[in-house]
Copies of this chain bind each other. A is one copy, B any other.
Amino acid sequence: MKVKLASSYGFCFGVKRAIKIAEEYKNSATMGPLIHNTNEIDRLKNDYNVGLYNSLDEVKDNDTIIIRTHGIPKFDLKNLKAKDAKVINATCPFVTTPQQIVKKMSAEEYSIVIFGDKDHPEVLGVQSYAKDQDDVFVILEPEDLNNIKFKYSKIATIAQTTKKKEKYLEIVNTLIPKNKEVRVFNTICDATFENQDAARELSKEVDIMIVIGGKNSSNTKQLLNISKENCIDSYLLEDERELDPKWFKNKKLCGITAGASTPDWVIQKVVNQVEAY
């Protein structure tokens, strides 16, 4: 089976940076999964003894705690800093930006709209920076705005870094006619765009698309959705063990892309396996 890789795929700047930080701090622990990729988290555990805490209660004195790329809520950070632990911040700078925007806009009396998944750690972190938690709204669809009563006629809006820009524009377009001022911050990450555009192009020319990434990764799921628009035989998998030879029957060209949290060594194993079919 012939394989063609997307012109842009895999690790983004923030993930590369976080992994480098984790490798520098052996015997530390991350607060929440560092990135959305269990294979890489296992590698960091095995090769660098970087552990994983899921709650502040697990933090012990003298621990070195690495804050995940998605960031953590403001109050968790405050509580963590109050403990007798060393705190290393691996929050992606592109996530720190919307956190600071929400803080500033909220202080300047803008109502806040966040386009994102309300349970996503990045969104929970960003949302926590609003002064007034009753005037920050996390939505996914323009219709979600219908029953919202904003405190102010000035709205500031930001998007989860991995969301689709088209939907963000739909939300913005719904906000503008109803409000005096809408301050639109383009917080969607370019790396996400680039991987998405490349997946779109590649999926048009192949018989089968493989998207490699975490099943709970927002940007990976979007790569799958984009691929499916052009190539019905698109599959999401975390590593080469999930490949099924049956998928490749009567296919000639296999496109491969990977989410922003997928390490190159995982991608390479998938490529090798598919080429062997």
Chain A residues proximal to chain B, CB less than 8 Å: 165, 168-169, 172-173, 176-177, 179-186
Contact = CB atoms under 8 A, between A and B. Distances in A.
A176 B180 contact: no
- State the oligomeric state as a number of copies: 2
B184 A184 contact: yes
Contacts of A180: 185-186
A183 B186 contact: no
Contacts of A172: 172-173, 176, 184
A184 B186 contact: no
A176 B181 contact: no
A176 B186 contact: yes
Nearest to A169: B173
> Which of the listed residues A165, A179, A184, A185 has the most CB atoms from chain B within 10 Å of its own CB?
A184
A41 B180 CA distance: 32
B173 A173 contact: yes
Contacts of A168: 176
27 contacts: A165-B176, A165-B177, A168-B176, A169-B173, A169-B176, A169-B177, A172-B172, A172-B173, A172-B176, A172-B184, A173-B173, A176-B184, A176-B186, A177-B186, A179-B186, A180-B185, A180-B186, A181-B183, A181-B184, A181-B185, A181-B186, A182-B183, A182-B184, A182-B186, A183-B183, A183-B184, A184-B184
Contacts of A181: 183-186
Contacts of A184: 172, 176, 181-184
Nearest to A180: B186
A115 to B, nearest CB: 12
A118 to B, nearest CB: 23
A26 to B, nearest CB: 37
Nearest to A177: B165
A176 B173 CA distance: 11
Contacts of A173: 169, 172-173
A167 to B, nearest CB: 12
Contacts of A183: 181-184
